[in-house]
Amino acid sequence: MVGVAEPSVRPAGAARIWASALSATAMLTVVALMTRGNGPAVRAQIDSAVWWYLARSSGLVAWVLLGASVVGGLLLATQLTWGCMRTWTQGLHEGVGALAVVFTAIHLASVLAADQLRIGLRELLVPFARPDNPVAQGCGVLAAYLLTAVALTSWARALLPWRWWRRLHLLTFPLFGLACAHTVLAGSDTTYPILHWVSLLVGVVILFLAAFRLLAARPAGTAAAVPTGLQEGIPAPLVPRPASPAAAPTTVRTGMRLLITQTTWEADNVLSLRLHSPDGAPLPSWEPGAHIELALPSGRRRQYSLCSDPDDIRSYRIAVLQVPVGRGGSVEVHTGARAGQLITVQGPRNHFPLVPSTAYLFIAGGIGITAMMAIAARVASAGGEWKLVYTGRCRASMAFIDEVCALDPDRVDVVPGDERERPDLDALIGATLPGTVIYCCGPDRLLQAVQDRVAARPELSLHSERFTATATATADGGGAAFQVELHRTECVIDVPADRTLLQAIREFLPSVPAGCEQGICGACRTTVLAGEPEHRDQLLSSADRAAGAMLMCVSRARSERLILDL
């Protein structure tokens, strides 16, 4: 994965900002020119020939920009771009599309102002109203209306059900066709060879991408997996498919089918996904600290913290750090997840809940900030005492810095490793008031360092969340053989030394719940009714363990037999 040089400037966001500024400027110019009081005076000062040249050039530029935006949109839809390239393509698609609107506005204004064209408001607004060359004029007016519809619905995209937006966005194709017809039939420049070459190039690229998109959109077996009404014009769904036994759990579990409506490059190698219900229905509510589990096409299941606003259940947001030498889940999300795909999601579940306290210290390392954001936001909105220390390799690798600082810049300490010394944990935890609850999420080294310091301060309480298993929490078995009795199923199973408890139980209970199989997510939690478990996870608290909880994916037995509530 190639990193973004300056990820704090989001390409798509930046494009929207400058495109809005240009659009506003162009609209103001149009209004100024058309205003009854000043309009004629302004127009009179400019030679009519200038308006005519402006009309021709702005029309051609708008047409080229529209073609470029269509190409960008098709590149996004065909999944021929990925990673930061994809985000830049998205920014380009949106920015160039907005510029096309700007130049169309300039074209309309200058057409109106150019006396020799003899076009009034009626010809500008009513299709086929011009006696000479009505087809060219009609195509132009209809294209302008379609462009307005596409532009407005794109700006209001977050407010619309995804399906409506998608269908309206497909109007871009007739819009571009009408714009081409208008350019060819009404233009005064169609004899220039450069125009022919540009139109040929744009046309070939669009046709190729559209054909590729249509062929790639319906691989065998895919259509049936997509709900009716969503099969038209969306990328292949990101749904689980059979995978090798090593990669995929054999359990069959259902979940919500959610739509990826947005992917955003948040920092170097950090991609966020926005998920909505396909029909726009509210999603299950969640509390700060919760995570969801994605079922990836390879069969992998991965858990990601929810880092959106828990009060807004129209959508979920997660952020994924790509780990090239990891177990493959993050790479699969980065290279495979696209807006418009469906993905199976389980949860939300919460093993990192916000506990009541009068004071909090949040320590986040790198992508660990995602587990902390909603918790810190809830504490900040409640007006409690809190401080957040956010460390990372460098500013470019740290996602959501602006969002986190916006909670309260005075309480958030951002520590990029290439700008400042790493936080002095001895001083930080040493100065923490008794009774403070410490939340920590990040790399193992950070968690261990915090854990060691908090161990010396029993009046503090530490809540931490891991993203990877520790050396003791492995899913490859390892240990003595033992027997497990499933109390409700009424069977006894041998667990050999080289298999995990979960693997052994699955043969009898294929639907037994599981997720990460690393002792991280808590999906395989069960209750021990008798026997002595050997806990190998880092998730369960001592209170959980005392209450009989056990994670079947990594933990084993010290006694010869365990009786589980299964």
Q: Applying CB under 6 A, which residues contact ligand FES?
A: 514-517, 519-524, 551, 553
Question: What 3-state DSSP class applies to 253?
Answer: coil
Question: Could you tell me the smallest distance in angstroms from the CB atom of residue 521 to ligand FES?
Answer: 4
| Contact (Cβ atoms closer than 8 angstroms) between residue 94 and residue 154 | yes
Which C-beta is closer to ligand FES: that of 56 or that of 349?
349
Closest CA to 305 of 322, 323, 282, 286: 286
**What is the SS3 string spanning 478-547?**
CCCCEEEEECCCCEEEEECCCCCHHHHHHCCCCCCCCCCCCCCCCCCEEEEEECCEECCCCCCCHHHHHC
Closer residue to ligand FES (CB): 412 or 540: 540
Nearer to ligand FES, 29 or 350 (CB): 350
User: What one-character-per-residue DSSP string does 110-150 give?
Assistant: HHHH-GGG---HHHHHSTT--SSSHHHHHHHHHHHHHHHHH
Beta-carbon contacts of residue 295 (< 8 Å; ≥ 6 apart):
239, 240, 253, 255, 301, 343, 344, 345, 346
Decide whether 187 or 513 has the Cβ nearer to ligand FES: 513
Secondary structure class of 102 (helix, strand, coil)? helix
Q: How far is the CB of 516 from ligand FES (least distance, A)?
A: 4
Specify the residue, 412 or 521, whose C-beta has the smaller distance to ligand FES.
Answer: 521
Asked whether 172 and 150 are in contact (CB, 8 A), the reply is: yes
- Closer residue to ligand FES, CB minimum distance, 317 or 536: 536
| Cis, peptide link before residue 242, omega less than 30° from 0 | no
Beta carbon of residue 254, minimum distance to ligand FES (angstroms, whole number) = 17
Least distance from C-beta 244 to ligand FES, angstroms? 18
CA atoms in the 13 A half-sphere facing the CB of 23: 18
Minimum separation from the CB atom of position 149 to ligand FES (A): 47
Q: Smallest gap, in angstroms, from Cβ of residue 470 to ligand FES? A: 13
Nearer to ligand FES, 376 or 516 (CB): 516
| Nearest distance from C-beta of residue 536 to ligand FES, angstroms | 10
Shortest Cβ 362–ligand FES spacing (Å) = 24
CB atoms closer than 10 angstroms to residue 174: 12
Residue placing its CB nearer to ligand FES in the complex, 174 or 510: 510
Q: What are phi and psi of 371, to 5 degrees?
A: -75, -20
Give the list of residues 6+ apart from residue 99 with CB closer than 8 angstroms, or none.
Answer: 19, 22, 65
Q: Which residue has the tokens 């995570």?
A: 291
User: Which residue type sits at 548?
Assistant: G
Q: How far is the CB of 22 from ligand FES (least distance, A)?
A: 49
Residue number with CB closer to ligand FES (465 or 517): 517
Nearer to ligand FES, 238 or 523 (CB): 523
Indicate the angle between helix axes 172-186 and 134-155, nearest 10 degrees.
150
Q: Are 85 and 334 in contact (CB under 8 A)?
A: no
Distances (CA, A) of 354 to 274, 459, 478: 23, 18, 35
What region, left, alpha or beta, does residue 30 occupy, with left being phi > 0 and alpha being psi -120 to 50 degrees? alpha
> Minimum CB separation from ligand FES for residue 556, in Å?
13
